[in-house]
Amino acid sequence: MDSPGVRARLTMRVAWLVLAALMLVAIAWFAWRASAPASSESSITTNAAAPAVEPATPARESGERPGDAGESASSPVDAESRRSTTVPAALPVVSQANAAATHATHAAAAVSAPAFDSPQDAGDDDEPNLFPRGWRRCFGWSGGARGDYEFAADSSTWSSGQWSVRVQSLVDRPDPAGASICQYLAASAYKGKRVRVTLHLRTQHAEPGAHMLFRADTASGLVAAFYNMSPQWVRGSSDWAEYSAVLDVPESASAIVFAGTLVNTGTLWMDDASIEVVDSQTKLTQPPTRTSHYNQVIAIDQLPTRLQNPGFEENSRVPAGS
């Protein structure tokens, strides 16, 4: 027969075994976190506090052709919870040795920006295959994601003019869970200056949301400036509205990426993009970026210095399979 003392000792041993198991699980989790790769461009955050987005205002000359969805759209939301895959606000400190190794790796991997899809002249019946000249299908256009999103010019809805561009998810769980339409620019016209970036967006069933994206990289690939509207993404269904931010482009900037991004599922329309230099007295939306995140180096020799086709009015047919 077990005595109370024996039962007590057995209970203590079981408790210690459970505690030891929990400690091993915690150690393994921290080790995994330390070795996890950096997140993609569309979800990286900076050490700075979450930026504020200038209030969304209805776009001028907005219109919609008959036959459009016609769904009653809600106003853009003012707050959006961060995705679980977003890098924490306090980025880890990288040792000088690791930073040097990262710099060398990216410098050796310098490549030209992705080429456009060899557009051809378009006919009257080619709208399903049209894409705006000067813009690119960026994040979400590689590997398995090719069949997960549709990218196309759209004449059924616009902020102004007669065309917009659309990013639409085709599956319930895209992989990777995000797609963008962007332009790569040489930073020479903006480096060392304060700029206002503007993009008109409309969404339908966008979850967790969509956002404007601006990124400036140094010649080594280090992120020098970054903005993605976090945590105030446009969520759900929203009518056309203008979104803008005022940012400083550091002297160290070499290349710029400007985009509209759909995160996960839904539909995003973009129109009327602009990047303009403003005076130094204009209030900043976000302070300078402080990060140790690197992207692949972009060769800038053939890049334009100004946005091309900012109104998405010039379209061409993309060959099948591109």
- Residues (pLDDT < 50) of the chain are 36-124, 321
Tell me, yes or no, whether 121 and 269 share the same domain. yes
Tell me, yes or no, whether 72 and 9 share the same domain. no
Residue that is written with structure tokens 């929990």 in the block: 22
- Pair type for strands 178-186 and 136-137: antiparallel
Task: Decide if 82 is inside a domain.
Answer: yes
For residue 127, give the DSSP letter: G
User: How far apart are the C-alpha atoms of 256 and 261, rounded to whole Å?
Assistant: 15
100, 93, 102, 85: which is closest to 296 by C-alpha? 102
Tell me, yes or no, whether 28 and 46 share the same domain. no
Question: In Å, what is the CA distance from 314 to each residue of 123, 138, 155, 169?
Answer: 13, 19, 12, 24
Task: Decide if 322 is inside a domain.
Answer: no
Domain of 296, CATH number, reads: 2.60.120.260
Tell me, yes or no, whether 179 and 83 share the same domain. yes
For residue 71, give the DSSP letter: P
Residue 214's pLDDT is 97
Q: How many CB atoms lie within 10 A of CB 81?
A: 12
Tell me, yes or no, whether 148 and 184 share the same domain. yes
For the chain, the domain total comes to: 2
Task: Decide if 66 is inside a domain.
Answer: yes
Contact 229, 56 (CB under 8 A): no
Q: To the nearest 10°, the Cα dihedral for 182, 188, 193, 196?
A: -20
Task: Decide if 229 is inside a domain.
Answer: yes
User: How far apart are the C-alpha atoms of 307 and 304, rounded to whole Å?
Assistant: 7
For residue 294, give the DSSP letter: B
Tell me, yes or no, whether 56 and 139 share the same domain. yes
Tell me, yes or no, whether 56 and 106 share the same domain. yes
Tell me, yes or no, whether 91 and 189 share the same domain. yes
162, 144, 163: which is closest to 152 by C-alpha? 163
Here the tokens at position 210 are 């969509």
User: How far apart are the C-alpha atoms of 49 and 64, rounded to whole Å?
Assistant: 37
What's the predicted TM-score (pTM) here? 0.65
**Residue 175: is it exposed, middle or buried by C-beta count within 10 angstroms (0-12/13-18/19+)?**
exposed
Strand ranges in the chain using DSSP code E only, listed in sequence order: 57-58, 63-64, 111-112, 130-132, 136-137, 149-154, 157-158, 164-169, 178-186, 193-218, 223-227, 234-249, 253-278, 298-299, 315-317
Residue 19's pLDDT is 79
Domain that holds residue 2: 1-36
Residue 79's pLDDT is 28
pLDDT digits (tens, 9 = 90+) for 191-217: 999 999 999 999 999 999 999 999 999
Tell me, yes or no, whether 154 and 204 share the same domain. yes
What are the residues whose beta carbons fall under 8 Å from the beta carbon of 91, sequence distance 6 or more?
46, 47, 291, 292, 293
Task: Decide if 250 is inside a domain.
Answer: yes
Question: In Å, what is the CA distance from 96 to each residue of 119, 135, 232, 292?
Answer: 45, 37, 34, 11
Here the tokens at position 228 are 């993605």
Task: Decide if 260 is inside a domain.
Answer: yes
Task: Decide if 10 is inside a domain.
Answer: yes
**CA angle, residues 259, 67, 157, in degrees to nearest 5:** 25
Tell me, yes or no, whether 28 and 137 share the same domain. no
Secondary structure class of 232 (helix, strand, coil)? coil
Tell me, yes or no, whether 6 and 126 share the same domain. no
Tell me, yes or no, whether 49 and 188 share the same domain. yes
For residue 310, give the DSSP letter: T
Residue 7's pLDDT is 76
